[in-house]
Structure formats: structure tokens, C-alpha cells
Amino acid sequence: MITDVNLAVGQYPFRHLPLADPAAMAKFLREKGVTKAWTGSADALLHRDIRGVNDRLVETCRAHGAGVLVPFGTVNPKFPGWEDDLKRCADVHKMSGIRLHPDFHGYALNDEVLPRLFELANEKKLVVVVVGRMEEERVQHPLFHFPPTAFAPLPALVRPFPELKVVVANWRMDPMSEAFSPYIRVPNLFFEIAMIEGVGRTARLVERVGAGRVLFGSHAPVFVWESAQLKLREAALRDEDAAKVRQANATALVP
């Protein structure tokens, strides 16, 4: 059984993705052994009505998610009323977490508004998924260029909130480098595997941060779902560590 912590439904704005249809996605995931998928909305990337995006996401997951799709709303801290969007995710929709898209929404992780956002998320006991990028820069539409999120400010941002659970998604760093050390020292930072590249990189990530902080994420349907499955298989982890990555760690974050 698998929990996928990095997935979205809805029409991706730059190309057709067959599994963007939520019913098709839920059916596909169940066939792959996925029992829960933390699900965002592709509409959140460019739509300005974030409240409407989140409301529709909840209804979509309820109507078509087959018990697999778990809605994670989006918060854009550069829009007026973002605090109400966050509170609505927690208090009205009873969501377990939210997603941030600094690249599409145009802010850095050292933005002055983010400590307040993390404080509110901590109060509401929401998991925060920080999505670093949706696609590589070289394949982006030439009129829509979104530089990837720089994660360097994240450890300092998270450190004052030791109870807050923060997931780093769609990231590109060498887990064995010295530059990765600040992330290791923040125990409530977790890492999904969708954009890890290179032979042995998933295994080295587990070695560096521990199996208890690594999560299965596919970034489907933008990425081929089986890519994440193959990364985990290639890592050749011990059975107990692989079980943590596949599901146990995510279940501990979102029972």
C-alpha cells in the first residue's frame, strides 16, 4: 500500500494530461496500490479565486476521488484575504494540509509574510507542502517562465515552529552535499522523491536524513507516476525503510 503526497487534479494550463481527470486518476491510483493521495488543484497555479479553487477541489475529491484523493488546498500569501483561505481549509473543509507554489505565485521563501503563514498553519495543525517547481525551466512555455523556488531560506523559516510538519516537494538538491546540511538539522522537514535524479540518490537521501523523513511523491499527472515507483525500487532499501517511505511516514503526518 502507498500514500502519494504529491499529486494534482484539474487541467494543467500548458499541455493535455489524460490523468488530470479526477475519476480516471483515482481509478489509476487504486490499481497501483495507492490508498491515499494528497491532492492539490492545477487551477491554483493561475486562478485568482483561490477560495473557489479550494471549494471545487473538495467537491471534486468527494465526488470522484473514490476515497483515495485527499484534498490539500492552496494558499497564496500574496493575495488579499489569504488568512481566510487558510482558515477555511482548516475549519470549513477540515483539510489536513495546504500547498504553497512560490514559483507560480511570485514570492521567495524569505518573504516577510511567510512567518505569519507558518504560524497560522501551525495553530491549525496543517501540514505545509512547499512545491518548488512544476516543470523544468527548459520545457516551460516561452511566455510563462517560472524560476524554481530557492529553498535555502526554508530551514530558518521552519525552525521557530518545531511542531509544524513541512514537506519539501519537487526539489533539486544533492542530499550528500554540504549545502544540504541545514535541512538535515531541522527534524520537522520531510522530503518527497518525485524530482530526485541520479542513480542511488533516493538511497543517499534516506541515508542522510533517515527513512522516517522521506515520503513517496509522484508529481502525477505532470510526471509519469511509475517514475517514483522505480526510484524507490532502485533505492533497494530495507523492507522496513521502504514501508516507511511508501506509507507509514505519511500516515504519521496525516493519520
Minimum mean pLDDT range among 18-22, 65-69, 138-142, 235-239: 138-142
Domain count of the fold of the chain: 1
Residue 139 is predicted with a pLDDT of: 66
CATH of the domain at 226: 3.20.20.140
Please report which residue ranges of 42-185 form alpha helices under DSSP H.
50-64, 82-87, 102-105, 114-123, 154-158, 181-184
Q: With pLDDT > 70 as the criterion, what percentage of the chain qualifies?
A: 97
pTM attached to this predicted model: 0.94
Higher pLDDT, 53 or 10: 53
Quick one: pLDDT at residue 15?
73
- pLDDT higher than threshold 70 for residue 140: no
184 — pLDDT class (breaks 50, 70, 90): very high
Q: If you average pLDDT over residues 3-8, what whole number do you get?
A: 97
**Domain extent for 172:** 2-253
> What are 83-114's pLDDT values in tens digits?
999 999 999 999 999 999 999 999 999 999 99
pLDDT of residue 19: 84
Helices 22-31 and 50-64 cross at an angle (nearest 10°) of 50
Instruction: Compute how many other C-beta atoms are within 10 angstroms of the C-beta atom of residue 178.
Output: 7
Q: Is the peptide bond before 221 cis (omega within 30 degrees of 0)?
A: yes
Give the model confidence (pLDDT) of 23-76 as tens digits. Answer: 999 999 999 999 999 999 999 999 999 999 999 999 999 999 999 999 999 999
Question: pLDDT per residue over 141-170, tens digit each?
Answer: 676 767 888 999 999 999 999 999 999 999
